Amino acid sequence: MGYFILEGLNNKALLKGNTMDISSLNAYHLDILKEIGNIGAGNAATALAKLLDKKVDMKVPQIRIMGFSDVNEVLGSAETPVVGILLGVLGDISGYILFVLEQEAANMLVNILMGKPLHQEMEYNEITLSALKEVGNILTGSYLSALSTLTGLRIMPDVPALAIDMAGAILSVPAIAMGKTTDTVLYIETEFIQGADRVIGDFFLVPDQDSYVRLLNTLGAMC
C-alpha cells in the first residue's frame, strides 16, 4: 500500500510554461488564496456531515503558503505513518490536491462510518480501504467544487488514488510531478468536530504556476 496508482491522470496538462514567481505574491494575493481555502474547507465539512448523517463543525483552519520542503515538518516528520488520497486537478487549472490523515484519524473516520466503537483498531481490507477512498474523494471533491463555484472556472477531480505509507513517500508523488513547474503548496489544516470527537486532516493544493495566475486573475487580484 506504499504507493499511488494514478489511474487516468493527465500529467501532460501539468507541464506548462512558467509565467509567475510565486514568491512575489503580496499580502493581498495571499489573502485571496486563503479565502479560497476557507470556503473550500467549509464545504468539505458540510459534505462530511452529510456522509456521516451527523452534525459536523469545523474549527477555523490554519492556511499557509509553503514549499514542498516544509510539508513533512507540518505532518510531524517524513516517517509519520499517514493515509493519503491524491487526485489530479483537471479542467481550467491543472495540478493536484492531496488529503492526508494520520492513521489514527483515518481509523476514527472509518469507525464512525461503520458504526463501530470510535477507537477500535481498524483492519485494512477491501471494505475499509474503499471507505477511506470514498471519504477522501467526497472531501477533496467538495473542496474543488467550492473552488470552481467561487472562481467560475471549470475544475474537475481526476480518479482518486489511495496510499498508506510514511508521509515522505506519499508527498514525493506530487513533489516529483510538479517539480518542473512550482515548488509552492497551499496548505489547509482542517479540524473536523463531531460531538466530542475531533478529526484533523490536512489539505494540500498544488496547482502549477499558470493555474495560480489564472485563479488570481479570475478573482480580480491581478487586474
Looking at the domain assignment, is residue 10 inside a domain? no
What are the Cα distances from residue 109, in Å, to 41, 115, 169?
Answer: 17, 10, 23
DSSP states along 158-190: ---EEEEEEHHHHHHHHHHHHTTT--EEEEEEE
| CATH number where 139 lies | 3.40.1550.10
Is 98 within 8 Å of 201 (Cβ atoms)?
A: no
Mean pLDDT confidence for 18-33: 61
pLDDT in tens, 54-100: 777 777 667 787 777 777 777 777 788 889 888 889 999 888 888 89
Looking at the domain assignment, is residue 141 inside a domain? yes
Is 153 within 8 Å of 215 (Cβ atoms)?
A: yes
Looking at the domain assignment, is residue 11 inside a domain? no
What band does 18 get if pLDDT is binned at 50, 70 and 90?
Answer: very low
Mean pLDDT confidence for 128-155: 84
pLDDT in tens, 87-104: 889 999 888 888 898 888
Looking at the domain assignment, is residue 160 inside a domain? yes
What is the DSSP code (8-state) at residue 121? Answer: P
Looking at the domain assignment, is residue 1 inside a domain? no
Looking at the domain assignment, is residue 101 inside a domain? yes
Give the mean pLDDT of the chain.
75
Looking at the domain assignment, is residue 223 inside a domain? no
Percent of the chain at pLDDT > 90 equals 3
Looking at the domain assignment, is residue 146 inside a domain? yes
What band does 199 get if pLDDT is binned at 50, 70 and 90?
Answer: confident
Q: Which domain holds residue 197?
A: 18-218
Considering the entire predicted model, what is its pTM? 0.77
C-alpha cell at 193: 468536530
Domain count within the chain: 1
Q: Which of 92, 105, 119 is nearest to 16 (CA)?
A: 92
